[in-house]
């Protein structure tokens, strides 16, 4: 290691790894320090239950990664990353045994909403699809780390997306499309009536039509391992089992980039109350299952989808989100996001067996056990589910926070995705990656474009860092 590095990155989640890679690609010397024994943060894979069952403790479905302008510009396939696509990106089954679906095909998706809403759905998404790559790059670079390439399309997207998702879904006459959209918004734990939540739903839908919602062959760890291997090939060094508690723990460098929560950064760098107004959102309660066979969904579409959303209608989903985020209680009927990677990737479990995960929203810091409520929901849509369970590993807010310091109180978005904080995080500032110290930067999902495995916060932060490195 040189006596003075160009950049030190703290935290090897997708954003920290991407920031490190972007800097190393431009010839800067980079070292990365990670608290846990392996790289990955929210993109890891572990045998959490039984031997041979490879679980993703955090991210598993990757609409944002496969559509990420940052990842698409990196040679990650050369380092072992392979995207595997389930027949359907997502299904949303209903209690009557039917399902709405998010398919690669706009037509199939529209048809699943029923004849009264098929046309409205087509009119909503089709104008954006030919321009999707530019649009994705433009809004994932907000606030203006790059000038928009297509400001007109970005403005049209903003007009539709900035109001609450409940306004957007008024164009649908039936509950099927509204429910599926409500579920999409809940992926980032945003309240359905919140500012810019229309954009959240639209992004997930457009991402499905453009490139799908794949899983990574072998598990999400493959994304992180590919980034780390590329970084090392570029000359960067990776140090695991190294928790950073103070800036003095780090080697001398011209810039420091933190893939941490704002609160942790303030503690480590001595920024006092700089981020005191930053708000954390609800937590989640997650269960990883080893199953004796596939999930016995009643709706046939759900058997071929990588992701399955569980919520009877938009009111039930809104009530579950409200209970966890505003009412300080766990919902009686939780809204569930579930992922079954085995429908696309046979390497996750021994022959004939499956891994499967499900989580529901709970208040920040909640210490109860949501297992029974989650399994009652699953049994509604997949009778006999419990009989397939070989083993389960549960993690509520305390366990999630212990596994990853960024999940403060179990908030897997590292900060509430509500109000202006959905877009303007971690502070109201045109320079979200800058901090009170000119050589210290923040790049975690507490910065735009927010949660998810896409590396774009790391990519955008790296731009701010290399501008500084070239000036000093």
Ligand X SMILES: Cc1cc2nc3c(=O)[nH]c(=O)nc-3n(C[C@H](O)[C@H](O)[C@H](O)COP(=O)(O)OP(=O)(O)OC[C@H]3O[C@@H](n4cnc5c(N)ncnc54)[C@H](O)[C@@H]3O)c2cc1C
Residues that bind ligand X (CB under 6 A): 10-16, 33-36, 41-43, 58-62, 64, 243-244, 259-260, 264, 284, 286, 359, 400, 404-407, 412, 444-445, 451-453, 457
400 or 469: whose CB is closer to ligand X?
A: 400
Shortest distance, position 64 Cβ to ligand X, whole Å: 5
Query: From the CB of 43, what's the least distance to ligand X, in Å?
Result: 5
| Inter-helix orientation angle 14-25/456-471, to 10° | 40
DSSP, collapsed to helix, strand or coil, labels residue 276 as: coil
Q: DSSP letter at 84?
A: E
Look-up: residue for tokens 């690609």? 25
- 154 near 138, Cβ under 8 Å? yes
Closer to ligand X by Cβ: residue 342 or 451: 451
Peptide bond into 449 cis (omega under 30): yes
CB neighbourhood size of 51 (10 A): 7
Minimum Å distance from CB 220 to ligand X?
Answer: 8
30 is written with which tokens?
């980079």
Q: How far is the CB of 58 from ligand X (least distance, A)?
A: 3
For residue 281, what is the enclosing H or E element? none
**Which residue number, 204 or 381, has a Cβ lying nearer to ligand X?**
204
User: Which CA distances in Å does 159 have to 4, 156, 185?
Assistant: 47, 5, 17
- Find tokens 């992180």 and name the residue: 224
Pick the closer one to ligand X by CB: 14 or 69. 14
Reported as half-sphere exposure (CB side, CA atoms, 13 A), residue 54 has a value of 21
Q: 48 or 135: whose CB is closer to ligand X?
A: 48
Shortest approach of ligand X to residue 443 CB, angstroms? 7
Question: Could you give the angle at the alpha carbon of 100 between the alpha carbons of 193 and 161, nearest 5°?
Answer: 30
- What residues contact residue 213 under an 8 Å CB cut-off, 6+ apart? 61, 62, 63, 66, 86, 89, 90, 102, 207, 306, 307
Query: Which residue, chain included where needed, has tokens 């009927």?
Result: 333
**Closest residue to ligand X using C-beta atoms:** 13
Residues 64-74: b if buried by 16+ CB within 10 A, e if exposed: bbbbbbbbeeb
Of the pair 142, 284, the CB lying nearest ligand X is at 284
Q: Which of 320, 9, 277 is nearest to 182 (CA)?
A: 320
The residue (of 309 and 404) whose beta carbon lies closer to ligand X is 404
- Cβ nearer to ligand X, comparing 110 with 184: 184
Q: Which is nearer to ligand X, 108 or 241 (CB)?
A: 241
Residue 240 Cβ vs ligand X, minimum distance, rounded to whole Å: 9
Q: Which residues pair with 30 in a beta bridge?
A: 7
User: Do the beta carbons of residue 113 and residue 174 sit within 8 Å?
Assistant: yes
Query: For residues 233 and 241, which CB has a smaller minimum distance to ligand X in the complex?
Result: 241
Minimum separation from the CB atom of position 227 to ligand X (A): 10
For residue 227, list its beta bridge partners: none
Smallest separation (angstroms) from ligand X to the CB of 309: 12
Per-residue H/E/C for 216-241: ECCCCHHHHHHHHHHHHHCCCEEECC
**Least distance from C-beta 39 to ligand X, angstroms?**
7
Distance in Å, CB of 286 to ligand X, minimum = 5
Provide, rounded to whole angstroms, the least separation between the CB of residue 453 and ligand X: 4
- Ordered strands of the 253-258 beta sheet: 237-239, 30-33, 5-10, 253-258, 440-442
Task: CB nearer to ligand X: give 110 or 440.
Answer: 440
């Amino acid at each position: 290691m040189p006596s003075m590095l160009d950049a030190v990155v703290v935290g090897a989640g997708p954003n920290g790894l991407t920031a490190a890679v972007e800097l190393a690609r431009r010839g800067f010397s980079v070292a990365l320090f990670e608290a846990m024994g392996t790289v990955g943060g929210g993109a890891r894979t572990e045998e959490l239950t039984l031997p041979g069952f490879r679980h993703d403790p955090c991210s598993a479905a990757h609409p944002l990664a496969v559509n990420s302008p940052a990842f698409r510009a990196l040679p990650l396939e050369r380092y072992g990353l392979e995207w595997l696509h389930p027949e359907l990106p997502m299904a949303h089954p209903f209690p009557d045994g039917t399902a709405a679906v998010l398919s690669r095909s706009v037509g199939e998706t529209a048809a699943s909403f029923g004849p009264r809403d098929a046309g409205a759905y087509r009119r909503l998404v089709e104008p954006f699809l030919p321009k999707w790559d530019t649009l994705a790059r433009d809004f994932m670079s907000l606030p203006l780390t790059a000038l928009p390439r297509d400001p007109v399309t970005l403005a049209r997207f903003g007009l539709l997306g900035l109001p609450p998702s409940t306004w957007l879904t008024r164009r649908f006459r039936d509950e099927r499309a509204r429910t599926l959209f409500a579920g999409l918004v809940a992926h980032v734990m945003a309240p359905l009536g919140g500012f810019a939540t229309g954009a959240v739903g639209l992004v997930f839908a457009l991402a499905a039509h453009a490139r799908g919602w794949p899983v990574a062959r072998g598990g999400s760890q493959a994304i992180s391992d590919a980034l780390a291997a590329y970084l090392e090939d570029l000359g960067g060094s990776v140090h695991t089992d190294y928790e950073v508690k103070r800036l003095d723990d780090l080697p001398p460098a011209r810039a420091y980039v933190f893939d941490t929560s704002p609160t942790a950064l303030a503690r480590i760098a001595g920024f006092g109350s700089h981020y005191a107004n930053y708000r954390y959102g609800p937590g989640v309660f997650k269960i990883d299952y080893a199953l004796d066979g596939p999930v016995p969904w009643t709706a046939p579409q759900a058997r071929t989808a990588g992701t399955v959303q569980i919520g009877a209608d938009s009111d039930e989903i809104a009530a579950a989100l409200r209970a966890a985020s505003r009412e300080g209680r766990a919902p009686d009927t939780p809204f569930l996001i579930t992922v079954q990677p085995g429908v696309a990737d046979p390497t996750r479990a021994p022959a004939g067996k499956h891994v499967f995960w499900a989580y529901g929203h709970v208040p920040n810091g909640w210490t109860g056990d949501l297992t029974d409520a989650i399994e009652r929901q699953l049994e509604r849509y997949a009778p006999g589910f419990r009989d397939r369970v070989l083993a389960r590993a549960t993690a509520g807010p305390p366990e999630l926070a212990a596994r990853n310091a960024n999940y403060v109180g179990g908030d897997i978005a590292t900060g509430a995705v509500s109000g202006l904080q959905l877009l303007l995080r971690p502070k109201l500032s045109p320079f979200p990656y800058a901090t009170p110290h000119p050589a210290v930067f923040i790049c975690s999902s507490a910065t735009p474009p927010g949660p998810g495995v896409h590396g774009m916060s790391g990519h955008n932060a790296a731009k701010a860092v290399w501008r500084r490195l070239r000036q000093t």
